[in-house]
Amino acid sequence: MRPAFLIPGHRLSFLISGLLLVGLNLFALTPGSGHAQEVFIDLHSPSQLDRLQVIDVRSRKEFEESHLRDSLWLEVNTLDDPNPSFPGKLGSLDRLQLKLGSAGISAARPILIVGSTIAAFGEDGRLFWILHRFSSIPVQILNGGFKSLKHLPETMFQSSGPHGKAMPSSFIEDGNPISLKVPEELFSYDDFKLESKFRIFDVRSLPEYMGATPFGSSRGGHIPGAKWIPWNSFFDGSGKVLDTRKKEIVSKMGGIRPLVYCTAGYRSALVFAVLLEWGLEPINYDGSWYEYSQRSSPTH
């Protein structure tokens, strides 16, 4: 402004009713495996929402004006550490679990995240990355965000108003609270010594890459050796994944595991989700430029 913790070789599959939705398929990835996962889905029929928890991560104002019926609202930045060593740092597992649970999120149903994609700052990607990294709950992102739902009947939506109840509690009562765990692999600033094992991509804007600090970083610049691919270039004008760029962008990875970063790990988390769908095994650097600029000198 993490992927489901999977056991290698196993596949989780949840069949979701609907005319064009085949299912939620999660694959364990290993470097070079080439296995892809359907992360972004298009909503063609109301029946696709059967058995799904819909989590809306847009602003409170947007949610109150209109949202899918029975969806939950979550302010993603409340999952950050309230007393961080650098801005945007993810909170502890206990805090994450508490915040997700208090929002009504359960482990009983697959999750569909509704956001604003490139019209915001990657909040939908950030929540996907967290749930995918720290839980075993099947999770996907609505391709194109809330604006892609204009074709659905009006009866599918509701508004809560400025004093309405923005977070329905129906999912809290199913007796299956969310449970998080630390994954085997966590990436931090100290892991940059393994630079030969991944290729770094800066997905911020060009001015940021060149040294601008619009979000108050300790200093400007970029991680040495990082290539610039702006985060919004992975999407078309409506905020849907631009699959026509898949071959070009994947080729830039050169067969090496990609590490993506932005300023606080939000925009890069959305890129992480795209690369995961394209069959890669990306790393989203949670600390991103906020941490790196604070811990490194201008030449490192």
Looking at this protein, which amino acid is placed at residue 100? L
Residues 20 and 158 in one domain: yes
Q: Taking Cα atoms as reference points, which of 91, 270, 279, 292 lies closest to residue 191?
A: 292
In a domain, 179, yes or no: no
Question: By the 8 A CB rule, do 63 and 115 touch?
Answer: no
Q: Where are the beta strands (DSSP E) in the chain?
A: 11-14, 24-27, 40-41, 53-56, 67-68, 72-73, 111-114, 139-142, 157-158, 199-202, 227-228, 258-261, 283-284
Helix (H, G, I), strand (E, B) or coil at 78: helix
Measured distance between the N- and C-terminal CA atoms of the chain, rounded to whole angstroms:
23
**Dmax of the chain from CA atoms?**
57
Give bridge partners of residue 228 from the DSSP assignment.
202
Residues 100 and 196 in one domain: no
Domain count, the chain: 2
In a domain, 2, yes or no: no
pLDDT digits (tens), the chain, 300 positions? 433 333 333 333 322 233 223 333 322 333 334 556 899 999 988 899 988 999 999 999 999 999 999 999 999 999 999 999 999 899 999 999 999 999 999 898 999 999 999 999 999 999 999 999 999 999 999 999 999 999 899 999 999 865 444 444 444 445 577 889 887 677 889 888 765 688 999 999 999 999 999 999 999 999 999 999 999 999 999 999 999 999 999 998 888 899 999 999 999 999 999 999 999 999 999 999 999 999 987 766
Q: Which of 174, 207, 241 is the last residue of a domain?
A: 174
Residues 24 and 160 in one domain: yes
Give the pTM: 0.84
Residues 145 and 202 in one domain: no
CATH code of the domain covering residue 155: 3.40.250.10
In a domain, 300, yes or no: no
Residues 215 and 81 in one domain: no
Residues 169 and 216 in one domain: no
In a domain, 120, yes or no: yes
Residues 196 and 169 in one domain: no
Q: Which burial class, exposed, middle or buried, applies to 196 when counting CB atoms under 10 A from its CB (0-12, 13-18, 19+)?
A: exposed
User: What are 191's two structure tokens?
Assistant: 């892991």
In the block, residue with structure tokens 């069959």: 279
Residues spanned by the domain of 220: 189-295
Q: Taking Cα atoms as reference points, which of 114, 119, 115, 62 lies closest to residue 237?
A: 119
β-strands 258-261, 283-284 pairing = parallel
